[in-house]
Structure 1
Amino acid sequence: MGNCKSSSRARLGKAHVVPDSEWRMQDFGKTHVPDLEWRINDFSSLLETGAKSAKSDAFHCSGYNWYLQVSPMHKETGSETPYVALCLKTSQPSMVPGHTVHVVFELSIYNHTKGMYCGCKDTYNFHFKNTYSKEQCLIPLQELLKSSAFLVDDSCVFGVEILKIDVSSPEKKAVVVQKKDTTVQNLFVQKKGFVKGTYTWNMNNFLELDSDHFVRSPTFEVGGHKWYVCIYPRGDKYSTDCLSLYLYLDASDELRLESKKVVVMTLSILDQKNGKHLTATSGLLVFTGGRGWGWADFLGLKNLKDPAGGYVVGSSCVVKADLTIVGSSNDG
C-alpha cells in the first residue's frame, strides 16, 4: 500500500467589516503586494455549481502552508443578504500541537478601475485544532455582480498578504515574514461537461484491519485520472475519537504538464441496516498528485461501533466516494 501519511492532506471553521453599499473596505494602495493573487475565472459558473466555497491551492509563507477560501453565497446569521466572504486557512500538517500562531493579515479584492487592492485587515490565532480564520471581508454578492471595477470579463482577483506572525510555544519561536514574489494562481470553472464518477469500497474485513494505521482502497479512475480513498479506522493524529476519511489523487498522477483538477467530492459511510448513510460534501478543492482532502473527524468511534447502527455489520463496512471534476487550476 502507498503511504498516506507521507502525502499532504487537509481537513475540511467573526471580527469583521460588514460593507454597506460603498463596501467600506480599506484601499491598500498600489504598493500593496499580496503573497497570493488568486484569479477566479468564470465567476458566474462558480455560482452555478452551488458550491458553498472554493479553496485555492496552497501558497507558502514563513514555513507554513496557507489557503484562501472564497464563499460566494455566504449569509450572516439573521440576514438573507448573500455575501462573497473571504477566509484564511492554514494547513494542519504544518501546525505543531501546543503552538499558537498569531497572524496579522489582509484579505482583499482587486479594483481594476483604481489599479489597487482593497479589503480588510484582520488578526487570528491559528492552532492545531483551529485552522480556519473567521469569514471576513464581506462583499455584497449582488453589488459585486453589477460592478465593472471588481468583476471584469466574468473574473475576480482576490489577494492575501501575511503581515506578521508570532508563535506562542514552549520554544518561544520567532518567525520573520520574508517577502517574496507573489504566488499567482488561476481557477477555471467549466460552464458545462462536468465529469462525474462514483466508487464503492466494500471492506469485508474491517474489524481485522490494523486500526492504528491507514488503509488505502484500490485505485479507481475518474476523468482519466487515478484516485483512491484512505481511511484511518481509529482516526489519524488530527482526529478526536473519530474515524478519519480522505480522498486522494494518486501520486503517480502528478499532473505536472497540465492543470490541476478542481473537484467537488462527497464521501459516505453507508448504513447497511437503516439506510441512514453518513455523508459529507466539500466545496471546490484543488487536487494534484499525492494531495488528499477529507475529514479527520468524519464519524465518532462510538457511533461507528454502535450495534444498533449499520455502519459496521459483522465485519463489513462500506465507503462510497462521489466526485465531480468541475474545472482546473494552474499557476500564473
Structure 2
Amino acid sequence: METKNKFITGEMELFSIKGEEAVSRTMRDEPPTHFELKIKSFSSLSKSSLERYESGNFEAGGYKWKLCLHPKGNKDKNGEGHISLYLVISDTNSLSRGWEVHALFRLFLLDQLEDKYLSIQDSNGRARRFRASRTQSGFDRLISLKQFNDPSNGYLVNDTCVFGAEVFVHRESVSGKGECLLMTAGPDTCNHTWKIENFSALFAESLFSEVFTAGGHKWRVNLWPKGHGEQKGKSLSLFLELNDYSTLLPGQGVYVEAQLRVLDQVNGKHMEKKMQHWFYDSSKDWGWAMFLSLNSLKNQSMGYLVKGGCIIETHLLFIGAIEKLGQKSE
C-alpha cells in the first residue's frame, strides 16, 4: 500500500509496495536528458484494446533503449489501477553472447501545471541489470490512475501527457564461462533418402548426396563406393558431413544423434549404424570407413543392390547446437 497519496514539490517521498523495493520520487525543473514521450488523446489510448505501447529507440550510454508503457497497468505484475512504465534495452542482436548491462535510470512524468518533472527511481540508487533473459525493468505502479487523472496534479492536461527517461550505464560485462545448448528432438527431425542408380558403374572415388537441411544446418552424405583409407577395396565407406561447417564461430558446435543405413531392398534386413557426434569447424564429418563389406554389397541375395541401384537412408534423431558464451551473436 502507498503511504501517501500526494506528491509534494521539492520533497522526496519513499514508499514500498509488496513485491517491489523502495522507490524515490522527487520533483525537478530539468527535463529528462535522453528521451521524452508525448502522448496526445491519452483517453483514446486507455480505452483501446492496446495493452502496451513501445516507443521508438533512443541512444544512451552506447546502447539503444525504448520505453514500454502500459496505460491501464501491467496486469501480469499486479499493476491494475496504475500506469506501468518500463525501460527496455533494444537492438540486442548486435551484443555479445552472455552480455549484461547494469544501468542507473530514472523515469519521468511531467507536471504541466507547474512545468516540473516527477522523477521516479530506486531509492537506494542501485543499478538494475539487463541481460538476454531480462531486457526490461521499471515500475509496475509508476503512478495510480486516480492521481494521474486528477486535473490538479497536472499530469494529464488537455488529454495530453509527457513521460521521459534518463539512462546511465554503470557497468557492462560479458560472461567469460558458460555455454548455451538448444536441442531439437523427435523421430521426424530429418529423414533423407538417397537413391543411387548404376552403382556398379561408379568410377569416382567418392561422391556426395544432395544437400539437405535439418536443425538449422545443412548436411550431406559422403559415400566411398570402393572404400576409404585402409578399407579401400574391402568395404563401402559412409560419412555424414556438416556442409555449412565454415559458418561456425570458434567455440560453436553441433551435436547429432543419427542413423545411417544401406537398405536391404529384398529382405528388409538393412545394414544400419548409429552415431553420436559433435561437429565443429575443425571436425566437419564423421562416419565409418568399414560400413558394409563389398562382398556383402555385391551378394544379390542380401538385397543391397537391386537392378544396379542402391538406397542410402539418413535419419537425424537429435540435433543440438552449442555456443560458448562470449561469442558475438550473428
User: Into which bin does the TM-score normalised by the smaller protein fall?
Assistant: 0.3 to 0.5
Query: Which structure's relative contact order is higher, taking Cα pairs within 8 Å and 6+ residues apart?
Result: 1
Q: Provide the TM-score with structure 1 as the length reference.
A: 0.43
